[in-house]
């Protein structure tokens, strides 16, 4: 983006410097020397951090790795609530015995890995059912592929569980190799 005195200049929009107004196409038609003469500089757009791992794309604001049991402002535990319709004229929310937990990145990424593995395995589950119900062998290539998916899922889950930083978690997630 083009900047002049800290202000962003939009391409395709007219702008004024001092008493001179420049037309909307000036930035596109000008040379670097023309822009430099006016003090116009180029700044790359800021790189946004991956929103899956950082709040608001801010590299300095990572999401929590671990699950967090929620508490109120006084430090008292919070519980999952359900609607109690015992009195239809006055339905109310009531606490259950289940603690309210905000899932961290590790739990969410493990769930994603399990979902991916399940989706990949579901394509060949009928071979397993056929083997159990009719004792028809599973083709070797299918068994090999299923074993590879299971191994990759186990590798990722173990690595995610052991990771200690968001950057390491990103590396783990980028290392997924589910085969074809």
pLDDT score at 8: 93
75: left (phi over 0), alpha (psi -120 to 50) or beta: left
State the DSSP code for 38.
H
3-class secondary-structure state, position 31: coil
For the chain, 180 residues long, the average pLDDT of each consecutive 10-residue run is 92 92 94 94 89 93 97 96 94 96 98 98 97 97 97 98 97 93
b/e burial code for range 52-87 (CB count within 10 A of at least 16 → b): ebbeeeeeeebeebeeeeeeeeeeeeeeeeeeeeee
Give the integer Cα–Cα distance in Å for 36 and 143: 65
- Tokens 């590299």 belong to residue: 59
93: left (phi over 0), alpha (psi -120 to 50) or beta: beta
**Strands annotated E in 28-100:** 40-42, 68-69, 79-84, 92-99
pLDDT score at 169: 98
pLDDT score at 179: 86
Q: Which residues contact 127 (CB under 8 A, 6 or more apart)?
A: 138, 139, 142
pLDDT score at 47: 85
Q: Which residues pair with 22 in a beta bridge?
A: 15
Q: Which residues contact 145 (CB under 8 A, 6 or more apart)?
A: 124, 179
C-beta separation of 1 from 8 below 8 A: yes
The H-or-E segment that residue 28 falls in is helix 26-29
């Amino acid at each position: 983006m083009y900047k002049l005195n800290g202000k962003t200049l939009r391409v395709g929009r007219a702008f004024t410097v001092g008493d001179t107004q420049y037309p909307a196409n000036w930035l596109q038609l000008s040379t670097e020397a023309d822009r430099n003469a006016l003090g116009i500089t180029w700044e790359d757009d800021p790189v946004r951090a991956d929103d899956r791992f950082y709040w608001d794309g801010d590299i300095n604001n990572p999401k929590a790795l671990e699950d967090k049991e929620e508490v109120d402002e006084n430090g008292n535990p919070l519980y999952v609530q359900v609607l109690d319709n015992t009195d239809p004229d006055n339905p109310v929310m009531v606490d259950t015995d289940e603690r309210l937990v905000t899932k961290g990145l590790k739990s969410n990424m493990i769930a994603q890995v399990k979902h991916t593995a399940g989706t990949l395995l579901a394509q060949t589950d009928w071979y397993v059912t056929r083997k159990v119900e009719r004792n028809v062998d599973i083709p070797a290539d299918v068994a090999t592929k299923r074993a590879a998916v299971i191994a990759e899922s186990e590798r990722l889950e173990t690595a995610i569980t052991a990771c200690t930083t968001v950057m390491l978690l990103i590396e783990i997630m980028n290392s997924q190799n589910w085969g074809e």
